[in-house]
């Protein structure tokens, strides 16, 4: 294997971007002239053994890819009163799902960032219909949104439908209020989604799932989204 040359920096002060580009993961020197040699630069140009002669177990962990996964069977609750309303500008007051909101740090630029998440939701959502008219019912719902580095991934948006009914108006209170009962179990949902981003820069990033309840009164005090189990996985490839 070629000798690793001395790292030459032009700056008179420490510049982390220059240290990175001149000597660590994206060298300006020829092959074998920086620490790239021991971070994915093994090839026939700087190793006499030739291509495919170095076993995978000899490569440093994280050289070619970084992976992250978190998951739990611990129940997590989000009540409609935690959000569910709207801000002054009309935007939704959304709530982050604590278990599905994770930061990550990439030590190198990734050609591809893959992320997947799954959750088993139990949620309360009602159809309010006082007269049985097909044109008049008000339908509650929950929805989720996926954000990567603060940007919503539109293609991964989804909704959780209503699963119980009341013959009250959505604004009724006792004694006119008719309890909608228990949410139908066949309306609960298991959700799994996969997404990808390409050409992701080194540094700090985040993948977050937020939820919002479109719940009418007097339901917000009781209506909730319960996560029975959930998981989030991230794979970055150089």
Query: To 5 degrees, how large is the angle CA 91–CA 79–CA 136?
Result: 65
Q: Is 202 exposed, middle or buried (0-12, 13-18, 19+ CB in 10 A)?
A: middle
- What integer is the mean pLDDT of 198-207? 90
Query: In percent, how much of the chain has pLDDT > 70?
Result: 74
Distance CA 6, CA 91 (A): 54
204, 149 Cβ separation under 8 angstroms: no
Q: What are 172-201's pLDDT values in tens digits? A: 777 788 888 899 999 899 999 999 999 999
In DSSP terms, 141 is beta-bridged to 214
pLDDT in tens, 76-118: 898 888 876 666 566 678 888 988 988 888 878 888 999 999 9
Does the global pTM surpass 0.85? no
Q: Which CATH class is domain 65-237?
A: mainly beta
- 167 vs 61, more confident: 167
> To the nearest whole number, what is the mean pLDDT of the chain?
81
Higher-confidence residue of 93 and 141: namely 141
Could you report how far apart the first and last alpha carbons of the chain are, in Å? 22
232 vs 32, residue with greater confidence? 232
- pLDDT (0 to 100) of residue 146: 94
Q: Domain map of the chain by residue range?
A: 1-63, 65-237
Span 118-130, average pLDDT? 92
Residue 135: per-residue pLDDT: 65
When mean pLDDT is compared across 40-44, 134-138, 215-219, the lowest value belongs to 40-44
Rounded Cα–Cα distance for residues 206 and 71 (Å):
16
- Rounded Cα distance between 220 and 85, Å, is 10
Question: In the prediction, which pLDDT does 64 show?
Answer: 76
pLDDT at 203 over 90: no
- pLDDT on residue 238: 84
Closest CA to 205 of 142, 156, 150: 150
Whether the predicted pLDDT of 139 surpasses 70: yes
Nearest-angstrom CA–CA distance, 209 and 102: 9
Taking residues 51-68, report their average pLDDT: 69
Pairing of the two strands 151-152 and 95-106:
unpaired
- Determine the longest span between alpha carbons in the chain, in angstroms: 85
- In the prediction, which pLDDT does 3 show? 59
């Amino acid at each position: 294997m070629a000798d690793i040359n001395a790292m030459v920096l032009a700056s008179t002060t420490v510049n982390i971007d220059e240290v990175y580009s001149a000597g660590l993961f994206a060298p300006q020197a020829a092959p074998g002239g920086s620490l790239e040699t021991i971070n994915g630069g093994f090839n026939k140009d700087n190793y006499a053994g030739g291509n495919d002669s170095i076993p995978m177990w000899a490569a440093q962990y994280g050289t070619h890819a970084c992976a992250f996964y978190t998951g739990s069977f611990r129940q997590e609750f989000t009540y409609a009163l935690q959000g569910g309303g709207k801000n002054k500008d009309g935007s939704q007051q959304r709530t982050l799902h604590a278990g599905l909101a994770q930061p990550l740090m990439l030590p190198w630029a990734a050609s591809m960032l893959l992320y997947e998440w799954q959750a088993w939701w139990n949620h309360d959502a009602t159809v309010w219909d006082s007269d049985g008219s097909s044109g008049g019912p008000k339908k509650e719902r929950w929805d989720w949104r996926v954000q990567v580095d603060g940007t919503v991934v539109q293609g991964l948006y989804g909704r959780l439908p209503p699963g119980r009914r009341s013959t009250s108006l959505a604004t009724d209170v006792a004694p006119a209020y008719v309890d909608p009962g228990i949410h139908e179990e066949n309306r609960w949902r298991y959700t799994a989604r996969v997404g990808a981003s390409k050409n992701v820069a080194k540094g700090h990033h985040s993948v977050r799932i937020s939820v919002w309840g479109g719940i009418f009164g007097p339901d917000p005090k009781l209506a909730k989204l319960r996560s029975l189990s959930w998981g989030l996985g991230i794979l970055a490839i150089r």
